[in-house]
Chains A and B, each alone.
Chain A
Amino acid sequence: MPSELAVEVKGLKKSYGDFEAVKGIDFEISKGEIFSLLGPNGAGKTTTVEILEGFRKKSSGEIGVFGLSPEHDLTKLKERIGIVPQSGALDRYLTVSETVTMYAGYYRNPQPAEHVIELVGLQEKKNERAIRLSGGQQRRLEVAIAMVGNPDLLFLDEPTTGFDPAARRETWQIIKGLAELGKTILLTTHYMDEAEFLADHIAVIANGEIVAAGTPYNLGGRDKLRPKITLDYPEGVAPPPELKNVFTPSGAVTFEVNDITSAIYTIAEHARQNNVSLDSLQITRPSLEDVYLSLIGYDTEQAAEPEAKAARGGRSRRRNR
Chain B
Amino acid sequence: MIRTIRLLLKQVAYTNKAFWRNPASAFFTFAFPIMFLIIFNALLGNHTVLIGDKRAHYSTYYVSAMGTFGLISACYTNIAISISYARDEGLLKRISGTPLPKISYIGARVLHALFVALLLVVITALFGRLFYQAELPTGVTLLRFIVALVVGAVSFSALGFAVTSRVKDADASPAVVNASIFPLLFLSGIFIPLGNGAPSWIHWIARIFPVWHFALSMQAGFIGTAYNWTDVIIVAAWGLFGLLLSVRYFRWEPAR
- Choose from A85, A102, A108, A145 the contact partner of B99 (Cβ within 8 Å): A108
Q: Is the CB of A83 within 8 A of B94?
A: yes
Interface residues of A in 77-103 (CB under 8 A from B): 78-79, 81, 83, 85, 87-94, 98, 102-103
The yes or no answer to B21 lying at the interface (CB within 8 A) is: yes
- A89 contact from B22, B94, B98, Cβ within 8 A: B94
Is B14 in the interface zone, CB < 8 Å from A? yes
What separation, in Å, do the CA atoms of A98 and B91 have in the docked complex? Answer: 15
Distance of A252 Cα from B21 Cα, bound (Å): 62
The verdict on B93 contacting chain A, using a C-beta distance below 8 Å, is yes
Contact A89 B93 (CB under 8 A): yes
The number of residues on chain B lying at the interface, defined by a beta carbon within 8 Å of a beta carbon of chain A, is 21
Residues facing A in B120-173 (CB within 8 A) are none
Q: Is A129's beta carbon under 8 Å from chain B? A: yes
Taking CB atoms, residues of chain A closer than 8 Å to B91 are 89-91
Whole-angstrom distance between the alpha carbons of A75 and B11 in the complex?
19
Query: Is A158 on the interface with B (CB-CB < 8 A)?
Result: no
CB pair A89–B14 under 8 Å, yes or no, is no
Q: Is the CB of B99 within 8 A of A79?
A: yes
Contact with A along B56-82 (1 / 0, CB 8 A): 000000000000000000000000000
Identify A83's interface contact among B11, B17, B97, CB under 8 A. B97
Question: Chain B, 90-112, contact with A by CB distance < 8 Å: what is the 0/1 string?
Answer: 11011011111000000000000
B55 proximity list for chain A (CB < 8 A): none
> Min CB distance, A105 to chain B, in Å?
6
Answer yes or no: A216 CB below 8 A from chain B CBs: no
The binding surface of chain B is classed by DSSP as: helix
Whether B7 contacts A94 by the Cβ 8 Å rule is no
**B97–A107 CB distance below 8 A:** no
Say yes or no for A106: interface residue by CB 8 A criterion. Answer: yes
Minimal beta-carbon separation of B86 from chain A (angstroms):
8
* A78-B21 in contact given A87-B90, A94-B14 (Cβ < 8 Å): no
Q: Return chain B residues, CB-CB under 8 Å to A81.
A: 97
Query: Could you tell me the distance between the alpha carbons of A108 and B10 in the complex, rounded to whole angstroms?
Result: 15
Is A67 an interface residue, CB under 8 A from the partner? no
| A94 adjacent to B99 (CB under 8 Å) | no
- The answer to whether A78 and B14 touch across the interface, beta carbons within 8 angstroms, is no
Bound-state CA distance A88–B88 (Å) is 11
The listed residue (A55, A75, A87) touching B97 by CB distance below 8 A is: A55
Residues of A within 8 A of B21 (CB): 93-94, 129
Identify the A interface with B (CB < 8 A).
53-55, 75, 78-79, 81, 83, 85, 87-94, 98, 102-103, 105-108, 129, 145, 149
4 tightest Cβ-Cβ pairs between the two chains A and B: A89-B90, A93-B21, A106-B100, A89-B91
Q: Could you jot down 14 A-B contacts, CB within 8 Å?
A: A79-B99, A87-B90, A87-B254, A89-B86, A89-B93, A89-B94, A90-B91, A91-B14, A91-B91, A93-B18, A102-B10, A106-B7, A107-B98, A149-B99
